[in-house]
Amino acid sequence: MVKLTVLSALAVTISSISAAAPTSQVASWPNGPFVTSGRWIRDASGTNVTYAGANWPGAADVMIPEGLQYQSIETIVSKIKSIGMNAIRLTYAIEMIDQIYTNGGKDIPISTALTKALGTTNGPKVLAQIIAKNPQFSASTTRLQVFDAVAAECAKQQIYVHLDNHISKGMWCCSTDDGNSWWGDTYFSTANWTRGLTYMANHGKSWQNLMSMALRNEPREPTNAAAKSTYNWQSWYTYIKQGTEAIHSVNSDVLIFLSGLGFDTTITPVAQGTALTPGSGKFSLSDFPGYANKLVLELHNYENSATSCNSLQSNLNNNGFSALGSNKFPVMLTEFGFQMDASTWKGVYASCLASYLPAQKAGWFIWVLSGSYYIRSGTQDYEEGWGLLSHDWSTWRSPSYVNGALVTMVKNTLA
């Protein structure tokens, strides 16, 4: 009896110690919201986060994510996941939101969107193909419901979503005379732009994995004379303050990406703290009260004819990546790309970026995931030679690149 009493007391003591001992808990993915700290993006636990992903276009004429007539959303996301990528840059057009407002607040069914973009013969045909591959959809499924499904599948496979306002009018981007170049251009209404940003920021709150949003893809000098008169850094600053406020006012969780001038090839004044010409004012985080730790710089680069890696790296540094070295901002290369064949990836441009970006621990999105487009610049079922995936989105277009360089680039970026 004494022995049992002692053993019982010992068991109680051990139980008490165990109950008092702290238990380590792994934060649940995606462990947001993300914030910035100097050159880093950090999750809610303070751990550095870097994106390594691909562009998934959804801003062209149909205004839904591409490729769904060939593969299911699950299959496409699985391809991204299979090589270790952790993010997609998902693009959309402001026109989609404009049409929702014109339609009394209701989105357009994909049946209507496809017929309008592809015609009365091919529209229904492609719709049937999309539904066959994605039976959760129907003719009455709306465009935003397709975006929702992409975001949901990405969340299921632990892929971050970065939402990019690619263009105003739904079409192929980008040129100086497409009416979408700069605020005030033919299709680029500032009021509709801020309204669209607000709408998508609010809508995206239901996406578990919407971690960031971009203000605008590739601001560039327009041929439109009226818009061209304001094409400068000073005006850019006025507009981006409106855009960041439009997003943050309804969704304080997301990071906000700022793109620069010249097709987003330079954001030097922000990175280096020089004057926003033609004025003398400078970029200041104090102009973004309450969300100064939410801003990320983004650049694009397509110097495919580069013959020197040192020169390419120098250009990237001078155009904005110097902000990493000075510990001012996170900087990402949200677009770069090249022909997906057996040898281009071995050239100076592709091989240089494959080493430079991981070494900088800089996030990136390669252009482009698409093997084809519903329609591009008037051509239906357009072949994308730069696409990671084949025409029917089933296999890698250049297995030698994916296995010989891309998988390692992803791994080294996220290491």
On whether the CB atoms of residues 70 and 395 are closer than 8 A, the answer is: no
Per-residue pLDDT of the chain (415 residues; tens, 9 = 90+): 333 343 344 344 434 434 444 444 678 999 999 999 999 999 999 999 999 999 999 999 999 999 999 999 999 999 999 999 999 999 999 999 999 999 999 999 999 999 999 999 999 999 999 999 999 999 999 999 999 999 999 999 999 999 999 999 999 999 999 999 999 999 999 999 999 999 999 999 999 999 999 999 999 999 999 999 999 999 999 999 999 999 999 999 999 999 999 999 999 999 999 999 999 999 999 999 999 999 999 999 999 999 999 999 999 999 999 999 999 999 999 999 999 999 999 999 999 999 999 999 999 999 999 999 999 999 999 999 999 999 999 999 999 999 999 999 999 999 9
Q: 264 lies in which domain range? A: 27-414
Q: Is residue 16 part of a domain?
A: no
Q: Cis (ω within 30 of 0) for the bond into 278? A: yes
Q: Looking at the 3D structure of the chain, how many domains does it have?
A: 1
Q: Is residue 35 part of a domain?
A: yes
Residue 176, domain CATH: 3.20.20.80
Q: Is residue 239 part of a domain?
A: yes
Cα–chain-centroid distance for residue 228?
Answer: 27
Q: Is residue 399 part of a domain?
A: yes
Residues facing residue 255 across a β-bridge: 212
Query: What is the amino acid identity at position 307?
Result: T
- DSSP string for 195-257: HHHHHHHHHGGG-TTEEEEES-S-----S-HHHHTT-SHHHHHHHHHHHHHHHHTT-SSSEEE
Q: Is residue 186 part of a domain?
A: yes
Q: Is residue 13 part of a domain?
A: no
On whether the CB atoms of residues 214 and 163 are closer than 8 A, the answer is: yes
Q: Is residue 214 part of a domain?
A: yes
Instruction: Sort residue 3 into left (φ over 0), alpha (ψ -120 to 50) or beta.
Output: alpha
Q: Is residue 87 part of a domain?
A: yes
